Amino acid sequence: MAETEILSSPGARLVDVVRRFFEGDVFYSFRRSPVVIVAFAVTVIFFLGAFLAPWLAPHNTFDAATLNLLDAFKPPAWKADGDRSFPIGTDDQGRDVLSTIMYGMRVSLLVGFCSVALALAIGVTLGLLSGYIGGALDALIMRVADVQLSFPAILVALLIDGLARSFLPRSMHEELAIYVLVLAIGASNWVQFARTMRGSVMVEKGREYVQAARVIGIHPAMIMVRHVLPNVTGPVLVIATLALAVAILTEATLSFLGVGVPPTQPSLGTLIRIGNNFLFSGEWWMTIFPGAALVLLVLAVNLLGDWLRDALNPKLR
Amino acid sequence: MVEPLLRVADLARYFDVSPPWLNRVLEGQGRAILKAVDGVNFTIPKGETFSIVGESGCGKSTVARLVVGLYRPTRGSISFEGHDLASLTTRAQMAPLRRRLQMIFQDPFASLNPRWRVADIIAEPIRAFGLIEGRQAILDRVGQLLRQVKLAPVDGEKYPHEFSGGQRQRISIARALASQPDFLVCDEPTSALDVSVQAQILNLMKDLQRQLGLTYLFISHNLAVVYHISDRVAVMYLGRMAEVAPTKILFRRPRHPYTRMLLDTIPDLAMTGRQRQPVAGEVPSPIDPPTGCAFHPRCPHANDRCRSERPEPRALPDGALVACHGVEEGRVPDGPIGLVQG
Amino acid sequence: MVAPANQPLLQVSNLRIEFPTRRGTLVAVDDISFHIDPGEVLGVVGESGAGKSLTGAAIIGLLEPPGRIAGGQILFDGQRIDNLPYESMRRIRGKQIGAVFQDPLTSLNPLYSIGRQLIETITTHLPLSDSEARKRAIDLLAEVGIPSAERRIDQYPHQFSGGMRQRVVIALALCANPRLIVADEPTTALDVSIQAQIIALLKKLCREHGTAVMLVTHDMGVIAETADRVAVMYAGRIAEIGPARQVIKHALHPYTEGLMGSIPTVGADAERLVQIEGAMPRLTEIPAGCAYNPRCPKVFDRCRIERPEPVAVGPTGVACWLYAKEGPRG
């Protein structure tokens, strides 16, 4: 039948989805808000700078061969004794601060994204089960969540990190530090996803399209994944964005406290900690620039999250 | 006697609406059981439209959901062509019956998954029951179903939000027809629609019934719609059936005082100046229903027996079933109330 | 101020309501005119999206932004009220014009007892002391049929059933003895038996107090029961306006005719209902000429080009080229 032929082309479907996005309300509210456009631009620049660091950074700070201790403590280029090839100065080991920030942001973002992904996976699964199945399972999951919430995230992270340190040999711990961090931060963040999911799922579950699927006899797992899940992604997406900012900060805090990633592959938090030692001896650039990068990144991500929350909320539209 | 398509016997469904355990202990509150449906019996022969009418909270929607298996009965049985639904426990056992027993919902804005294309929505039962294999064959069938409900096959491309309420209800009907059912449960299918669209949907439902030999269980609070579409009507009040009768008999000669009261509320659109009794009182809470006949606090004919003893449905010579002591004892008037001539 | 005997209580002239959106301005109510006489019940009926609720909201000054009155005027008792500042309109709204909405919960504050809400409204608009106001509140509750009003006055909205709440809202609207009540779908959220009670109550109160009512509803049954006159709206315009009996029993406009035929009635043994094809157009795609022309069984060329203005046919005003003075052309 010629009339139904159009349905089959995946290319046409993609074009259609893109067109619907640009004509949609979310894109409209994006275009209307300069603050959000700036925040988006800052985020994109930081992300690109971080992920393309090996190609974009002026120096490879992890290559010991290129390091020269004579370059240590160079101030930013515009200072009297600055060096053109180190635009914002060098640290105590002669590493270019701009390059360390770019590489450091890589680590920060990696930990941030992975831990949010982990929290998302745990939280969405448990929230979906809790909300859809209900009953004793729901009660159990929610009590576990309550207990989890009564521990501050940093404390949980410190605990997991401490356990990892005492049970793993030192060399292995350095290697696994990032995974430990991801696990620690991810495990302490799943509750908000689970709670949000549970609430949204309970609303959707009562709607008639879910009942229609049940009348057909669709398997509950299929209903959860194919019917309920696509309709509850909005609020979870918003929380994920805000959680990303929190995860980056938590990582920075842990690294600043010295329990995060090892100094051999520093994150923004590690850089701030190292620079902090020299703050009062006049080498302010070593801590101020990584600090500013962290603040800007978190601020931009938070602004995007706030905007997304408003844009996806039909009541505020 | 031929076995009816659907037989419902002593069907009941209770809901536990107790406050949480901690509140019960601390505030000394007891358990609260809501008897949404409390022992109803009816049969629906093939090809008939059987309507259940009543006010909100009377349990009519719960009956609909029990019949399609969205709730499990607390008590009683539902049998479809003689097969007891409760005896089917696995998904595989239930599938052949589910295919033949589908449902149309009230709210066309909630009954279609907003993230799915219309073609996928309508194809879902076809795929779930494995009725047709092959992508193109399924699409052809979807196009045919869309035409059957007076939409165009290209509409399958679109998403639900691109349609008006009436068109969405057509899509909902197409989905229900996709598995070639014999029996459709329609839960207030037109109450969210404007009257001109309601007429389109009611006409469509009648046409489909004639073409496909469908049997309907029709749930509604709108008496005029029920009069128009039904062969037989049941009036429900607080989880029980007050009266069941062929449509013409029920509207021409309502017996139960509640039926009489309900019919009296129909607006006088013909503006004949029909005199009406103002209705007194409201529906009591189904958590704590009155003793005896649940209608007695609002009934002008209630006596001590009505307050203590629960009336059971009794058959009258013209085919009506009435659960009322007053009708049995002849102390309730049962003349026509001027709605239907003849 | 006493109006001259022949002056209507409410006069709406060429009212136009617009919604500016990012895809252009939508005209939701397009150049409508009607009046309500003192003590009269005017029913405004139409399907969802016809603009009937917006018209009611504009009259009580509660049009929600971005909606705005873009043209025409509203005269209440000879005074313009469509351009009043918010504060002056608020005073008129409580004292001269009462409002009853579909969902009684939106009109009642769940945190205050109904007594407090009634007394506050009374003392704002009438020179009464608190104890006098309380007495009046109890009288009003009794009048709208709330049993043991002395006791129930101190209860909170959630302690009332839906029907009882709507009675409280009606009492609230009556507090300052208004001359007009705008009631938007007052019975839609209620059960049929409660609907009948509320309609009977509104009728009784209006007769006793001489209050005029603008009754906005989608339900022809409610109109037939209550209204003296009825305006049938379609796609932001008034298709037909006239005495309720006349319009319901002898509809002139093809839309009214179709609408009446599509309502199932008890006792009518038609196999099929009269069916109007299609649906009311969205505001973004209102057709040229008469907005009803694509669905109209009696359409002719002129309907597709020129927009019909209301003409008087007996006591009824009807916007349809079938009734134009020159007669149908083309």
The three-class DSSP label of residue B66 is: helix
Q: Parallel, antiparallel, or unpaired for β B240-246 and B232-237?
A: antiparallel
Residue tagged 């009648």 (tokens): B206
Neighbours of chain B (3+ CB pairs under 8 A): A, C
Mean pLDDT of C117-136: 91
Whether pLDDT at A315 is above 70: no
Task: Establish if C128 touches chain B: CB-CB under 8 angstroms.
Answer: no
Q: Measuring CA to CA, which residue among B117, C140, C249, B26 is closest to residue A20?
A: B117
Q: Which of C48, C265, C271 sits opposite B194 (nearest CB)?
A: C48
> Domain A32-57+97-312 carries which CATH code?
1.10.3720.10
The structural domains of chain A, with segments of one domain joined by +, span: 32-57+97-312
In whole angstroms, give the CA distance from residue A227 to residue A236: 16
Rounded to 10 deg, the angle between the B118-128 and B165-177 helix axes is 20
Structure tokens that stand for C304 in this block: 């597709």
Instruction: Say whether B1 sits in a helix, a strand or coil.
Output: coil
Query: pLDDT tens for residues C70-91?
Result: 999 999 999 999 888 888 888 8
Residue entry with tokens 């597709």? C304
Residues in A touching B105 (Cβ below 8 Å): 208, 211-212
E strand residue ranges, chain A: none
**How close B322 gets to chain A, by Cα (Å)?**
32
Q: How far apart are CA A164 and CA A174, in angstroms?
A: 10
Which residue is closest to C49 within chain B, CA to CA? B194
Res C173 pLDDT > 60:
yes
pLDDT at position C5 is 56
Q: What is the pLDDT of residues B120-150, one digit of tens each?
A: 999 999 999 999 999 999 999 999 999 999 9
> Chains A, B: CB contacts under 8 A, how many?
81
Residue B279's pLDDT is what?
65
Q: Which residues of B touch C225 (CB under 8 A)?
A: 267-268
In this prediction, residue C93 carries a pLDDT of 86
ipTM for the whole complex: 0.88
Q: Count CB-CB contacts under 10 A for residue B79.
A: 18
A210, two tokens = 């879910």
Domains of chain C with bracketed CATH:
10-227 (3.40.50.300)
Using a CB cutoff of 8 Å and minimum separation of 24, what contacts does B116-120 make?
A: B116/B159, B116/B160, B117/A7, B117/B156, B117/B157, B117/B158, B117/B159, B118/B146, B118/B155, B118/B156, B118/B157, B118/B158, B118/B159, B118/B160, B118/B163, B118/B171, B119/A4, B119/A7, B119/B156, B119/B157
Q: Is B56 on the interface with C (CB under 8 A)?
A: yes
Q: Which of C218, C231, C237 is nearest to C291 (CA)?
A: C237
Helix, strand or coil, per DSSP, at residue B322: strand
Q: Is the Cβ–Cβ distance between A251 and A112 less than 8 Å?
A: yes
Q: How far apart are CA C164 and CA C197, in angstroms?
A: 10
In the predicted structure, residue A166 carries a pLDDT above the cut 70: yes
Query: What is the dotted CATH code of the domain comprising B1-87+229-342?
Result: 3.40.50.300
Q: At what angle do helices B118-128 and B135-148 cross, to 10 degrees?
A: 110
Q: What is the share, in percent, of chain C residues with pLDDT greater than 70?
A: 97
How many B-C residue pairs are in contact by the CB < 8 A criterion? 120
Chain B closest-CA separation from residue A208 CA (Å): 4
pLDDT digit string, tens, across residues A144-164: 999 988 887 778 778 887 888
Scan residues 211-230 of B and list those with Cβ closer than 8 Å to C. 221-225, 227-229
Cβ count within 10 A of residue B28: 7
